[in-house]
Structure 1
Amino acid sequence: MPESIVSLNEETLRDDLRELVRKTVEELLNGLLEEEAGDLVGAERYERTAEREAYRAGHYDRKLATTSGEVTLRMPRLKGVRFTTAIIERYRRRETSVEEAMIEMCLAGVSTRRIEDVSEALWGSSVSASTVSSLSEKAFKAVERWRNRPLERAYPYACAGGIYLRRSWGGSYENVAVMVAIGADDDGYREVVGAAEGLAESSGCWREFLSWLRSRGLRGVRMFTGDKAAGMVGSVAEVFPGAAYQRCTVHFYRNVLARVPRSKRPRVAAMLKAIHAMESREAAEAKALAVAGELESLRLKEAAKVVRDDCAETLTYTRFPREHWRRIRTNNAIERLNREIRRRTRVVGTFPDGRSALMLVTARLKYVAESEWGSRRYLDVTLLEEAHREAGL
């Protein structure tokens, strides 16, 4: 006799379980509300006692959106005393976890209309555009506090760069620069030390950005790494006169290769990498001269000129411990953050204003900084102190 086959409709089962959980939550909350009303009244329902302080006057329904679905609360009405409950805040219409989820969607760049659709699909009730805006404002305040927090540690190494986003400006669409800086603190851990909006990566914008970092407590910087954006080098020297400047070697390679025919780029790239594979600054400088000469022999005079004129800026890292060279001679760390920012901001497209762009970028930076990215030790800074003691500094 063939065995009977039992089949389950997973979708129906899931819906039944969801409804069971929703009803359980609803019954539990209503039971707790009745208990609180009984404590305030001082008597059970229909009980006549001289000690009672108030009287029941029916109920009114109140909706509450939870992660289990929308539940109906039967809020007690009382005569003689005002009913207050510790179970749910006054005027609250959503569970806290629901609000937190919507805030995360706002910060992730999800549109207001999309949040309305998602909230109705997940929790059985939609939210208005004004509610989403108020939640965004709440999230932006927390992000702004984090962005302006005081910097209480010393940061021997710092790295700065900018990322361009599209924003609406007087009826037209233009790019806005968001400048970002990270630092390695005196324990060797990475930290996002600042993010600010700039109309362009000009000298004035960089000077204002670096001065803002200094006013918040950025100190102890011995070397800045950057991509030699317009105005960055002079601003670093002005605001942090004791800090050396390291030009990112990767950006240097790109500048040279932009003047090389495509067919010769692999060979030239290998030649450029050999410069920074040398064991000392003297050897690297000698190798750079040799590479420049070889480029001239290949009739690549423009590329050779860039190597002769700019290579020295990419060798500042040789003043510091050898164990740090690989990490401090490029701004790859900040480029990785920029890719994460672009991944999140791409869904927005064009921002309505600069503040929304800055807040979304800062929120993403805060999320990354509080993840494993900021909890791993990046450098052994004790090597830096030992090297300076040996040099008598």
Structure 2
Amino acid sequence: MSGNIVSVDEESLKSDLRELVRKTVQETLNALLDEEADEMVGAERYERTAGREAYRSGHYRRKLVTTSGEVVLDVPKLRGATFQTAVIERYRRRETSVEEAIIEMYLAGVSTRRIEDVSEILWGAGVSAGTVSNLNEKAFESVEAWRTRPLSGGYPYLFVDGIYLKRSWGGSYENVAVMVAIGVNSEGRREIVGCAEGFTESKESWKEFLLWLRGRGLSGVRLVTGDKSLGLLGALEEVFPDAKYQRCTVHFYRNVFGKVPRQKRVKVAKMLKAIHAQESREASEAKAAEVADALEAMKLGAAAKVVREGCRETLAYTDFPMQHWTRIRTNNAIERLNREIRRRTRVVGTFPDGKSALMLATARLKYIVENEWGRRRYLDVSLLEGEEGKA
């Protein structure tokens, strides 16, 4: 059976449909502008009436980038009145949704050069690096408001860590710490409660950071999880003296692995994990002693010393509900955020100043939080009430 074969040029069809939509949008916007002008004048075009308040004086053209492509607007000019329109803001050159898409691409890690190429493809008009910077300046105002927002309610669990970024400092390039804090609020949800710059992870920097968090309303902290930083430990004793400190078990393992030959690390990893797989602090301490003895028998005395001296700091989580243990004994949640910051800031390389580094890191965190990260329940905090009753 023979029949006619219909061939469709899909790309040409898409192009024609896109052009049709663009022209429809352009015609609709121009019709709205003319209608607004008629209302302001008080008469239709060429109509002679005693009640008219102004006269038309031609048009001027301006371009507007929309999600349907670039359109040309014929904006009415009036004599005897100033034409003001609700259709498009004065001096605006891009639709709001287009600007939001550009900002979102930047925060997602797309380089400014790539944004220019993508905008040319999507909307028929490219944007310069300066335009992207200007849009982000506006966005960073809301980012700063989010970063310094007041904190309310208790945060029983706090996770803290720092990440180093390169920035210009006094004519040279230095590594500067961006300190990040995640809190688990009274509803059991994770919340990024702090992001601030510090020259190093010194006691003074951590103290200033924690005081800033407390000044914004951070309270009810019962356990702080972080890496073994002497500066952090000293600052915690002064700012949150009632909070217990939990050394991240993953960081502890890495410190032990630094004293172990590569070919023996798999076996040692299983031994270390057995310490934190016990049902109580007492059992974990007994297991740690066994592991240290076994390491010495393997002629790994340096690793055994790290286990004996540092294991106790990794067992603070055992004073809290068992259902929380696997999530409060490591800094894995904040490590994932640090990787996202690193991925985003790698596009920039070296920052010209501290503000740009901090704002971009904070903007990335805000972007992550607004995409389901902070909406899921992380822990059942009500279990802590039972622990208080036992105490």
TM-score interval (norm. to shorter):
over 0.9
> How far did 1:129 drift?
4.0
Q: 2:136 maps to what in 1?
A: 136
| Other-structure match for 1:184 | 184
Matched residue of 1:82: which SS? Answer: coil
**What does 1:1-393 correspond to in 2, within 5 Å?**
2-391=2-391
Q: State how far apart, in whole Å, the 2-side matches of 1:374 and 1:337 are.
A: 12
Residues 81-135 of structure 1: per-residue CA shift (max 9 Å, x gap): 2111111111111111111112223333444444333333322223344432221
2: CA distance, partners of 1:371 / 1:127: 26
Question: Cα RMSD (Å) of the superposition?
Answer: 1.6
1:188-228 superposed Cα distances (whole Å, 9 cap, x missing partner): 11100001111221111111111111111110000100011
Displacement of 1:170: 4.2
Identity, % of aligned positions: 71
How far apart, CA to CA, are the structure 2 residues paired with 1:88 and 1:32?
A: 10
Q: Over residues 55-80 of structure 1, what are the superposed CA-to-partner deviations in whole Å (9 max), with x where a residue is unaligned?
A: 11111111111111111111111112
- Equivalent residues of 1:109, 1:360 under 8 A apart: no
Tell me, yes or no, if the aligned pair for 2:195 and 2:362 is still in contact at 8 Å. yes
Query: How far apart, in 2, do the equivalents of 1:113 and 1:387 lie?
Result: 55
Structure 1 unaligned blocks of 5 or more: none
- Rate the CA distance shift 1:130–1:268 in 2: closer, same or farther, 3 A: closer
Q: Does the aligned pair in 1 maintain the 2:221–2:240 contact within 8 Å?
A: yes
Tell me if the contact between 2:109 and 2:343 (Cα under 8 Å) persists in the aligned partners.
no
Extract unaligned runs of 5+ from structure 2.
Answer: none
Query: How far does residue 372 in structure 1 lie from its aligned partner after superposition?
Result: 1.9
Letter in structure 2 aligned against 1:76: P
SS in 2 for 1:231: helix
Count of aligned pairs: 391
Q: Aligned to 1:351, what secondary structure does the other structure show?
A: coil
Distance 1:109 1:368 in 2: 12
Give yes or no for contact 1:61–1:75 (8 Å, CA) kept in 2. yes
Q: Matched residues in 2 for 1:69 and 1:317: separation?
A: 56
Question: How far did 1:352 drift?
Answer: 2.5
Which range is displaced more, 185-194 or 103-112? Answer: 103-112
> Residue 246 of structure 2: SS of its match in structure 1?
strand
Query: If the length of structure 2 is used for normalisation, what is the TM-score?
Result: 0.96
SS at the partner of 1:218?
Answer: coil
Using the TM superposition, name which of 219-228 and 257-266 deviates more.
Answer: 257-266
Q: Please, which moves more after superposition, 359-368 or 304-313?
A: 359-368
Q: How many angstroms apart in 2 are the aligned matches of 1:40 and 1:390?
A: 74
SS in 1 for 2:374: helix
Q: Which amino acid aligns with 2:187?
A: D
Which whole-Å CA distance do the structure 2 matches of 1:69 and 1:321 have between them?
A: 56
- Cα separation, 2, equivalents of 1:329 and 1:201: 21
Residues 167 and 353 of structure 1 are in contact (CA less than 8 Å); yes or no, is this contact kept in structure 2?
yes
Letter paired with 1:158: L
Equivalent residue letter for 1:20? L
Confirm or deny: 8 A CA contact 2:107 2:367 kept in the other structure.
no
Deviation by residue 1:273-292 (Cα, 9 ceiling, x = unmatched): 11111111111111111111
Distance in 1 of aligned mates of 2:268 and 2:46: 93
